[in-house]
């Protein structure tokens, strides 16, 4: 059975503002200073298990040129352009219908473009196990990560104690970002995993669930499916996205379906969703500051993350637990403990100053 990989690369990443901007969001940035953008590392990692011609990237139409620039080896027909942001359910359905037309029956792996995975060989082993499982079973399989701390920035998956297969269990509940107290209870129970937002299934299994739980959206796609991989595809997608709901795959299908399983994994994963998560990944230097930039000097400062252009001299003194980040025409100075407010600050900037700083 053929294997396909779907990389979702259409988000804005507003929690990483000002580094992540509307015209150039975080998946297209070398966020860790490694010489490779997050999209490029995701694509390279996908090539461990998938042929390049079987890797699809779904992105917003505004970012198609960035995908082409950063992934020159990816066929243009494998870049799926969304005319508007409608969340993950329509995004995945678009890819599934396109794969079905190309290959008939196939298995597909769905992954965000902006995650960090440190242990790539273990990732490859786990993914191969999952692909083999869904090829033989009518299951919707999600990857759950063994939690290392009670993080309130992640969703959680509660799994059944008895395993249906090696490393695979039935999902009992999904919980969105919990309070600190509830997250602590989750960790202590030993029954919960972080929700990675990565999925595996047969195309037929997904489309059966899509038809059952999202019938209106399924009808939209089914009526236009023959246009995929033809000159009429752009027009067809405009029609679909003009009427489809803005809804996540979790709300639309995963929390409702009765054949959802979780593959328990531990391969050094982070979704790099916040400045705090980036702080944990960047090498900690002098006085326990995490620094990206060649000319940053710190004095009597600790537990800060400083992300600056390479040619900018920055001197910080007496700061503890702050985010200091500059990109283009914006400088952000924010307490690390208040990083969840950054998304709200972005909305305030839009109201007060318009979109020029976003």
φ, ψ dihedrals at 83, nearest 5°: -75, -15
Q: Is residue 102 part of a domain?
A: yes
The string of DSSP letters for 145-198 reads: EPPSS--TTS-EEEEEEEEEETTEEEEEEEE-S--HHHHHHHHHHT-EEEEEEE
For residues 19 and 13, give the distance between their C-alpha atoms in angstroms, rounded to a whole number.
Answer: 9
Question: Which of 48, 23, 113 has the alpha carbon at shortest distance from 329?
Answer: 23
**Predicted local distance difference test score (pLDDT) of residue 153:** 80
Determine which of 121-130, 131-140, 227-236, 281-290 has the lowest per-residue pLDDT on average: 281-290
pTM, rounded to two decimals: 0.92
Query: At 173, is the pLDDT very low, low, confident or very high (cuts 50, 70, 90)?
Result: very high
Q: Is the pLDDT assigned to residue 307 strictly greater than 70?
A: yes
Range of the domain at 232: 2-270
**Predicted local distance difference test score (pLDDT) of residue 242:** 96
Among 242, 270, 298, identify where a domain stops.
Answer: 270
Among 270, 285, 310, identify where a domain stops.
Answer: 270
198 and 313 housed in the same domain: no
The string of DSSP letters for 215-283 reads: HHHHHHHHHHGGGTTSTTHHHHHHHHHHHS----HIIIIITT-S-EEEEEE-S-EE---SHHHHHHHSP
Q: Is residue 255 part of a domain?
A: yes
CA distances from 84 to 7, 100, 139, 239, 330 (A): 17, 23, 30, 11, 26
Query: At 34, is the pLDDT very low, low, confident or very high (cuts 50, 70, 90)?
Result: confident
Determine which of 143-152, 159-168, 213-222, 250-259 has the lowest per-residue pLDDT on average: 159-168
Query: At 272, is the pLDDT very low, low, confident or very high (cuts 50, 70, 90)?
Result: confident
Question: Which of 278, 292, 221, 283 has the alpha carbon at shortest distance from 252?
Answer: 221
| Residues 331-343, mean pLDDT to the nearest whole number | 90
Share of the chain above pLDDT 70, in %: 99
191 and 247 housed in the same domain: yes
Most confident residue range from 42-46, 279-283, 323-327: 42-46
217 and 339 housed in the same domain: no
253 and 136 housed in the same domain: yes
Most confident residue range from 74-88, 145-159, 344-358: 74-88
Query: Looking at per-residue confidence, does 28 or 31 come out higher?
Result: 28
**Predicted local distance difference test score (pLDDT) of residue 285:** 67
Instruction: Give the pLDDT confidence of 201-210 residue by residue, as tens digits.
Output: 999 999 999 9
12 and 153 housed in the same domain: yes
Q: Is residue 358 part of a domain?
A: no
For residues 290 and 286, give the distance between their C-alpha atoms in angstroms, rounded to a whole number.
Answer: 8
Q: Is residue 128 part of a domain?
A: yes
Query: Looking at per-residue confidence, does 291 or 340 come out higher?
Result: 291
Name the 3-class secondary structure at 353: helix
Q: Is the pLDDT assigned to residue 186 strictly greater than 80?
A: yes
304 and 219 housed in the same domain: no
> Which uninterrupted H or E stretch holds 306?
strand 305-307
Mean pLDDT (the chain, rounded): 92
Tally the domains of the chain.
Answer: 2
Asked if residue 99 lies in contact with residue 230, where contact means CB atoms within 8 angstroms, the answer is no
Angle at 9 between CA 61 and CA 276, to 5 degrees: 130
Instruction: Give the pLDDT confidence of 36-84 residue by residue, as tens digits.
Output: 999 999 999 999 999 999 999 999 999 999 999 999 999 999 999 999 9
**Predicted local distance difference test score (pLDDT) of residue 245:** 96
CATH number at residue 152: 3.90.550.10
């Amino acid at each position: 059975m053929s294997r396909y990989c779907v990389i979702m690369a259409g988000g804005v990443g507003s929690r990483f503002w000002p580094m992540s901007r509307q015209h150039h969001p975080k998946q297209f940035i070398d966020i860790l200073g490694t010489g490779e953008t997050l999209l490029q590392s995701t694509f390279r990692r996908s090539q461990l298990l998938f042929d390049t011609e079987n890797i699809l990237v779904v992105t917003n139409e505004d970012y198609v040129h960035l995908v082409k620039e950063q992934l020159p080896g990816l066929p243009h027909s494998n870049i799926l352009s969304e005319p508007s942001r409608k969340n993950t359910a329509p995004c995945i359905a678009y890819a599934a219908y396109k794969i079905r037309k190309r290959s008939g029956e196939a298995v597909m792996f769905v992954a965000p473009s902006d995650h960090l995975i440190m242990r790539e060989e273990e990732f490859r082993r786990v993914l191969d196990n999952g692909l083999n499982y869904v090829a033989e079973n009518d299951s919707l399989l999600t990857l759950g990560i063994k939690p290392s701390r009670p993080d309130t920035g992640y969703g959680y998956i509660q799994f059944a104690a008895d395993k249906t297969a090696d490393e695979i269990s039935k999902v009992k509940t999904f919980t969105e970002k919990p309070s600190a107290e509830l997250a602590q209870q989750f960790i202590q129970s030993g029954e919960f995993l972080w929700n990675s937002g990565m999925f595996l299934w047969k195309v037929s299994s997904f489309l059966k669930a899509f038809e059952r739980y999202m019938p209106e959206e399924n009808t939209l796609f089914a009526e236009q499916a023959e246009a995929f991989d033809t000159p009429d595809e752009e027009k067809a997608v405009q029609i679909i996205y003009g009427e489809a709901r803005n809804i996540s795959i979790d709300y639309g299908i995963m929390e409702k379906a009765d054949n959802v399983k979780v593959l328990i994994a531990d391969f050094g994963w982070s979704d790099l969703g916040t400045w705090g998560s980036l702080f944990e990944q960047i090498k900690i230097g002098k006085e326990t500051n995490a620094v990206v930039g060649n000319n940053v000097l710190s004095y009597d400062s600790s537990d800060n993350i400083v992300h600056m252009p390479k040619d900018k001299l920055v001197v910080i003194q007496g700061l503890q637990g702050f985010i200091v980040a500059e990109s283009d025409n914006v400088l952000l100075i924010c307490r690390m403990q208040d990083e969840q407010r950054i998304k709200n600050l972005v909305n305030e900037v839009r109201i007060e100053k318009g979109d020029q700083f976003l």
